[in-house]
């Protein structure tokens, strides 16, 4: 099946369960085919968990949900060695992280120590325990959720953890017509139960290979660098975007090009996903945060001030 059609089939399949959120779904698919992870920040009840489950079912991948709580331990995620009296040896029992699609639910409810157990697997696709290294099965993706309004009993994600997420998105409330349509669909049952796969894990691995081959002109690369550099030079910003942000912005631009059935990146690809890739990676100075300034406002000023390249020909 044509790669473009596979992507559209996945999006349309997820839309059978999640209504009126095509933009958010597209960004998750871009991240998926770009080999990254997503942080979903929004209020309860908007379908974050359902969305992740629908994604896993649509691509026929192993799915595990990890509920993050204050008493969760790193071993509850990665696994633990258990003594087997029959063999008189310790055997390592894998934790839920060894699945393919991971829902890290309310990730900021657990301690920084437990949060840090995700750093290695999110970056290197492996876990290390008792001196042994275990590779996770591809495609592997972490989709974490956090609630922006419940600050009591939460632990803010450290910069190193935030930087592991390729994108940060939100769903937002559906409009009236979509919510009415949702009520009619859910009145007779949960459509997630009957959702069938429309792609396989091998298709996603192939799409990731295609994404890496999307052509990026040097002018586009310099455009990306100019945006990243501006985040490090703005007066309002205490900590600018890292080199990993540059790579992720490039990869997501390639992923968006493939989403729109192109084999080359255009400036609009960069601009349309820059907010989602960069908003969680920059830290404003305290005095500007006290004034109520948001990182999205600063990014909007940066993107509007950086000159857009004119690329005459793509090859």
- Pair 54, 14: CB distance under 8 Å: yes
What's the CATH code, domain 3-203? Answer: 3.40.50.300
Contacts of 156 (CB under 8 A, 6+ apart): 108
> Which of left, alpha, beta for 35 (phi over 0: left; psi -120 to 50: alpha)?
left
- Residue with the two structure tokens 């079912």: 57
Neighbouring residues of 43: CB distance < 8 A, sequence distance ≥ 6: 147, 148, 149
Domain ranges of the chain: 3-203, 214-305
Tens digit of each residue's pLDDT, the chain (315 residues)? 588 999 999 999 999 898 888 999 999 999 999 999 999 988 777 788 889 999 999 999 999 999 999 999 999 999 988 888 888 888 889 999 999 999 999 998 888 888 888 999 999 999 988 788 999 999 999 999 987 755 566 788 888 888 999 999 988 888 888 788 788 878 777 888 889 999 999 999 999 999 999 999 999 999 999 999 999 999 999 999 999 999 999 999 999 999 999 999 999 999 999 999 999 999 999 998 888 888 889 999 999 999 998 765 544
Tell me what pLDDT residue 315 has. Answer: 45
Q: Which two tokens stand for residue 256?
A: 């968006």
How confident is the model at residue 46, as a pLDDT?
Answer: 76
Q: Which of 1, 28, 25, 30 is nearest to 265 (CA)?
A: 30
E strand spans, 181-302: 237-239, 283-284
CATH architecture of residue range(s) 214-305: Orthogonal Bundle (1.10)
Q: What is the CA radius of gyration of the chain?
A: 20
Distance between CA atoms of 34 and 28, rounded to whole angstroms?
10
The pLDDT of residue 197: 96
Task: Give residue 81's pLDDT.
Answer: 85
Residues ≥6 apart with Cβ < 8 Å to 207: 3, 6, 7, 33, 258
Q: CA distances (Å), 247 to each of 81, 165, 277, in order?
A: 36, 12, 10
Within 83-140, residue ranges assigned H as helices are: 112-115, 119-124
Distance, CA of 163 to CA of 152 (rounded, Å): 23
Q: Which residue carries 């908003």 as its tokens?
A: 279
This prediction has a pTM of: 0.91
């Amino acid at each position: 099946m044509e790669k473009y059609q596979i992507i559209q089939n996945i999006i349309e399949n997820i839309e059978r369960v999640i209504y009126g959120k095509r933009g958010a779904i597209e960004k998750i698919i871009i991240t998926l085919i770009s080999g990254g992870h997503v942080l979903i920040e929004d209020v309860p009840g908007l379908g974050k968990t359902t969305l992740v489950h629908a994604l896993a079912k649509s691509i026929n991948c192993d799915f595990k949900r990890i509920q993050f709580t204050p008493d969760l331990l790193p071993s509850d995620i990665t696994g633990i060695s258990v003594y087997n009296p029959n063999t008189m040896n310790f055997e390592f029992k894998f934790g839920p992280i060894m699945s393919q699609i991971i829902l890290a639910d309310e990730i900021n409810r657990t301690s920084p120590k437990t949060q840090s157990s995700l750093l290695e697997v999110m970056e290197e696709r492996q876990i290390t325990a008792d001196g042994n290294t275990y590779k996770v099965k591809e495609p592997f993706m972490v989709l974490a959720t956090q609630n922006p309004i419940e600050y009591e009993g939460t632990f803010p994600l450290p910069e190193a953890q935030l930087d592991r997420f390729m994108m940060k998105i939100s769903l937002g409330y559906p409009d009236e017509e979509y919510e009415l349509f949702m009520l009619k669909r859910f009145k007779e049952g949960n459509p997630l139960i009957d959702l069938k796969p429309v792609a396989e894990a091998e298709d996603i691995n192939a799409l990731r290979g295609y994404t890496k081959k999307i052509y990026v002109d040097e002018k586009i690369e310099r455009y990306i660098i100019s945006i990243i550099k501006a985040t490090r030079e703005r007066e309002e910003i205490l900590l600018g975007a890292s080199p990993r942000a540059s790579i992720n912005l490039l990869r997501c631009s390639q992923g968006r090009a493939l989403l729109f059935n192109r084999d080359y990146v255009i400036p609009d690809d960069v601009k349309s996903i820059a907010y989602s890739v960069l908003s969680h990676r920059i830290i404003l100075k305290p005095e500007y945060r006290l004034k109520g300034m948001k990182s999205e406002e600063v990014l909007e000023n940066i993107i509007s001030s950086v000159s857009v390249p004119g690329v005459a020909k793509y090859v």
